[in-house]
Amino acid sequence: MAAATHKEEKLVALLKGQDKKGLEILYERYAAALYGVVFRIVGSQTLAEDVLQESFVKIWQKIDHYDASKGRLFTWILNIARNSAIDLTRSKSYKQSGKVLEIDYSVYEKAGMSMNTDQIGLKEIINRLKPEHKNIIDLVYFNGYTQAEVAEELNIPLGTVKTRLKIAMKQLRAIFQ
pLDDT (mean) for 59-81: 91
pLDDT (mean) for 45-71: 91
Instruction: Give residue 51's pLDDT.
Output: 94
> Can you list the alpha helix ranges (DSSP code H) found in the chain?
2-16, 20-42, 45-62, 73-89, 92-96, 104-110, 122-126, 131-137, 147-154, 158-176
Instruction: Give residue 1's pLDDT.
Output: 53
- pLDDT level of residue 6 (50, 70, 90 thresholds): confident
pLDDT (mean) for 100-119: 43
All structural domains of the chain, each given as residue ranges with its CATH number in brackets, are 1-119 (1.10.1740.10), 121-177 (1.10.10.10)
pTM above 0.75, yes or no: no
Instruction: Give residue 55's pLDDT.
Output: 94
CB 143 within 8 A of CB 40: yes
Instruction: Give residue 97's pLDDT.
Output: 60
Instruction: Give residue 99's pLDDT.
Output: 42
Residues contacting residue 77 through CB under 8 Å, at least 6 positions apart: 26, 30, 34, 55, 59
pLDDT at 101 over 50: no
Mean pLDDT score across all residues of the chain:
80
**Residues 119-160: tens digit of each pLDDT:** 456 777 788 888 888 888 888 877 777 888 888 888 999 899
Instruction: Give residue 118's pLDDT.
Output: 47
